[in-house]
């Protein structure tokens, strides 16, 4: 078949299969190949001039919340500002370090057509919107090389990708190539007859180029809200410190809603330790534990049982949070749980910052909505407002106001409730108020300090096996 020879020439020309060195799979703090590819895709692209088919192209590929196994990316290709291709891409790690890309169509693409300018629309994407369009043989296979520069190369093999062409009323073969470099996206798409004759598409050996669009973020950049490397460092030092444990002590209430009756007084802390895996990058790890106890609003005694129901504290034996500066914002990933219940949540991109004089205010909203049974969902909202004042300007320069709306714990009847905590950072366990220190030393010794390092976190993650 003519197509076989031509396709092998193309593969050799871009070094796609013969000399690609696989990106190592995730180990410790290293990203998986799928994560690395998703990140390489995630910045916007724009063509420097009209395409061969007419019109100026722009390409929008943000990462979205996982809808299943692997990493997930939303793809929207616009021509002259109007969408002509919308897909959801699922990226799956292969044992050899390569990545398989499955492209899903959308049942209602019009609902997302304004996503490049309104990224909050991406929050509506769920599994029910995905439509399987292509056969298994049409998955794009990606591999990574780093000589002389980092390049992701992807290929759809026309030998295995066969689709029905509605326009031609016959089956055709589809071939595609792509390269993602630090400068842009190189693409070639071709259609072939079942006998291997090229019917349409880019000539063999040629690519269309879509450059990185560095103007999209800069057009809307606001000095009052853009997080610079210096402000990222200020966030990390304020939130997690410089390496030794820090303690964010909290006091507040849980009230029923809407009557505002106090259900319990809350007291607790979050203790955290910071690690910089690469000093040359705006990247930091947070290893933390947190525990919050409930007290009787009249006697201030620790609540342990209510009408035969055990009152448990809100407690995490660890959380592992990654912060990274990207495009003037902070991207987060959170790991928690143990054994088969380990969850990696992210990427979170909703943290914002605003300067109020010399005070940096970092806000992090959290929207929770997930199934807890065949017919029930858990829904709640939390918001963190960190106020990082200049050192020495006030007695406690690192402060936090936290609020949560959602169901109360089962022992409190699960009624709608609002929790509110006022929090400030202290530098050692000895500085934590005695009321909480006494409880920690008698009932929760593990929570006296945060995890020591990533190895300690991985041990706790495996404890459920």
Each residue's pLDDT tens digit, 443-464: 999 999 999 999 999 999 987 5
| Residue extents of the structural domains in the chain | 2-219, 229-464
What is the tens place of the pLDDT at every residue in 396-406?
999 999 999 99
**Could you tell me if 112 and 122 are in contact, meaning their C-beta atoms sit under 8 angstroms apart?**
yes
Residue the block writes with tokens 């050192």: 391
Residue 258: asked if its preceding bond is cis (omega within 30°), the reply is yes
What is the tens place of the pLDDT at every residue in 281-321?
899 999 999 999 999 999 999 999 999 999 999 999 999 99
> Which 3-state string (H, E, C) describes the chain?
CHHHHHHHHHHHHCCCCCCCCCCCCCCCCCCCHHHHHHHHHCCCEECCCCCCCCCCEEEECCECCCCCCCEEEEEEEEECCEEEEEEEEEEEECCCCCEEEEEEEECCHHHHCCCCCCHHHHHHCCHHHEEECCCHHHCEEEEEEECCCEEEEEEECCCCCEEEECCCCEEEEEEEEEEECCCEEEEEEEEECCCCCEEEECCCCCCEEEEECCHHHHHCCCCCCCCCHHHHHHHHHHHHCCCCCEEEEEEEEEEECCCCCEEEEEEEEEEEEEECCCCCCCEEEEEEEEEEEEECCCCCCECCEECCEECCCEEEEEEEEEEEEECCEEEEEEEECCHHHCEEEEEECCCEEEEECCEEEEEEEEEEEEECCCCCEEEEEEEEEEEECCCCCCCCCEEEEEEEEEECCHHHCCCEEEEEEEEEEECCHHHCCHHHHHHHHHHCHHHHCCCCCHHHHHHHHHHHC
Q: Using alpha carbons, select from 174, 171, 172, 143 the residue that is nearest to residue 158.
A: 174
Residue 359 pairs with which residues in a beta bridge?
356
What is the tens place of the pLDDT at every residue in 41-56?
887 777 655 555 555 6
Mean pLDDT (the chain) is 86
Q: In 10 A of CB 391, how many CB atoms?
A: 10
Q: Which CATH architecture has domain 2-219?
A: Beta Barrel (2.40)
**Could you tell me if 262 and 297 are in contact, meaning their C-beta atoms sit under 8 angstroms apart?**
yes
In the numeric block, which tokens belong to residue 265?
């007084």
Q: Using alpha carbons, select from 48, 98, 106 the residue that is nearest to residue 74.
A: 106
pLDDT tens, residue order, the chain (465 aa)? 333 323 332 232 322 222 333 333 344 456 799 999 998 988 777 765 555 555 567 888 999 988 989 999 999 988 877 898 999 999 999 999 999 999 999 999 999 999 888 888 888 898 999 999 888 899 999 999 987 788 999 999 999 999 988 888 899 999 999 999 887 888 889 999 999 999 988 887 777 777 776 544 333 345 567 788 889 999 999 999 998 999 999 999 999 999 999 999 999 999 999 999 998 889 999 999 999 999 999 999 999 999 999 999 999 999 999 999 987 889 999 999 998 888 888 888 889 999 888 899 999 998 888 777 787 888 999 999 999 999 889 999 999 999 999 999 999 999 999 999 999 999 999 999 999 999 999 999 999 999 999 999 999 998 755
């Amino acid at each position: 078949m003519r197509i076989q020879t031509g396709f092998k020439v193309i593969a050799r020309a871009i070094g796609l299969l013969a000399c690609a060195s696989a990106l190592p799979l995730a180990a410790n703090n290293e990203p998986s190949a799928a994560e690395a590819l998703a990140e390489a895709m995630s910045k916007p692209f724009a063509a420097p001039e009209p395409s061969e088919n007419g019109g100026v192209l722009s390409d929008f590929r943000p990462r979205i919340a996982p809808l299943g196994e692997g990493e997930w990316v939303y793809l929207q290709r616009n021509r002259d500002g109007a969408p002509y291709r919308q897909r959801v891409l699922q990226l799956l790690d292969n044992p050899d370090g390569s990545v398989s890309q499955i492209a899903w169509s959308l049942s209602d693409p019009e609902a997302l057509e304004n996503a490049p300018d309104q990224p909050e629309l991406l929050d509506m994407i769920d599994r029910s919107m995905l439509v399987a369009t292509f056969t298994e043989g049409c998955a794009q296979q990606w591999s990574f090389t780093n000589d002389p520069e980092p390049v992701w190369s992807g290929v759809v093999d026309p030998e295995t990708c066969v689709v029905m062409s509605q326009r031609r009323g016959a089956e055709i073969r589809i071939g595609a190539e792509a390269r993602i470099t630090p400068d842009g996206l190189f693409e070639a798409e071709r259609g072939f007859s079942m006998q291997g004759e090229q019917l349409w598409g880019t000539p063999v050996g040629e690519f269309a180029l879509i450059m990185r669009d560095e103007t999209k973020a800069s057009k809307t950049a606001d000095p009052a809200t853009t997080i610079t490397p210096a402000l990222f460092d200020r966030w990390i030092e304020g939130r997690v410190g410089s390496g030794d444990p820090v303690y964010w002590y909290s006091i507040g209430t849980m009230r029923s809603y809407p009557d505002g009756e106090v259900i319990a007084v809350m007291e607790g802390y979050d203790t955290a330790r910071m690690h910089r895996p690469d000093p040359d990058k705006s990247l930091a790890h947070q290893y933390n534990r947190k525990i919050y106890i409930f007290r009787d609003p009249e006697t201030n005694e620790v609540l342990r049982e209510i009408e035969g129901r055990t009152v448990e504290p809100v407690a995490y034996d660890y959380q592992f949070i990654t912060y990274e500066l990207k495009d003037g914002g902070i991207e987060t990933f959170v790991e928690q749980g143990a054994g088969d219940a380990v969850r990696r949540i992210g990427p979170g991109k909703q943290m914002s910052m605003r300067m109020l004089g010399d005070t940096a205010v970092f806000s992090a909203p959290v929207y929770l909505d997930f199934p807890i049974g065949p017919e029930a969902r858990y829904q709640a909202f939390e918001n963190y407002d960190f106020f990082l004042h200049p050192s020495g300007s006030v007695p406690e320069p690192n402060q936090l106001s936290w609020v949560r709306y959602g169901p109360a714990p089962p022992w409190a009847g699960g009624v709608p409730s609002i929790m509110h905590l006022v929090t400030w950072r202290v530098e050692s366990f000895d500085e934590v108020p005695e009321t909480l220190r006494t409880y920690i030393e008698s009932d929760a010794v593990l929570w006296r300090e945060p995890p020591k390092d990533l190895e300690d976190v991985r041990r706790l993650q495996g404890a459920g096996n």
